[in-house]
Amino acid sequence: MKSPRQWPANYVRSGGFGRSGLSLLSSVLTACRTGSMQREKNNCVLTALPTGQWEIALPHGQIVNAYLQHIWPSFAWLTLAFSTNSNALSASSVRLTVWKHRLSSTEWQELRVITARQVAMPNCVVHKGNHERN
């Protein structure tokens, strides 16, 4: 079995979809203008498990199990919405952003393929080239 893949990720501030998008755009423009994108620290690690489930490693070390619900792709980042029933988070859903500039081109492409596949076929688990429906 292939080992789980991991990517650095950041929380997206809570709020409405439109407001969240505007705040994200504002933070990107500010980061580009000030050069702080390179200094920005990852506050969690996102892991894609072979079972189709995801793990979010929080900054204080707790791991939350989650299921991918939606993606908002962009040329420079990927925002992902997950559902979770963990007590470690105040909400039942969480949004994370993975920045392209922090990944190699192979890591970026792999993340895009995995997330697109899961959103298109949410009940499909891939095992060595075989597709199984749950």
Amino acid, res. 105: S
Give the model's pLDDT for residue 124.
64
Could you tell me which of 70, 83, 74, 75 has the C-alpha nearest to residue 115?
70
For residues 93 and 20, give the distance between their C-alpha atoms in angstroms, rounded to a whole number: 14
Per-residue model confidence as pLDDT tens digits over 111-130: 999 999 888 877 665 554 44
> At residue 16, does pLDDT exceed 50?
no
Q: Any idea what the Cα angle at residue 46 is, between residues 62 and 122, rounded to 5°? A: 115
Per-residue model confidence as pLDDT tens digits over 65-94: 999 989 999 999 999 999 887 766 666 778
- Token pair for 53: 């489930």
24 is in which domain, residue-wise?
5-133
Give the model's pLDDT for residue 102.
92
For residues 104 and 82, give the distance between their C-alpha atoms in angstroms, rounded to a whole number: 24
Look at the chain and report how many structural domains it folds into. 1
Identify the CATH number of the domain in which residue 127 sits.
2.30.29
Give the model's pLDDT for residue 121.
78
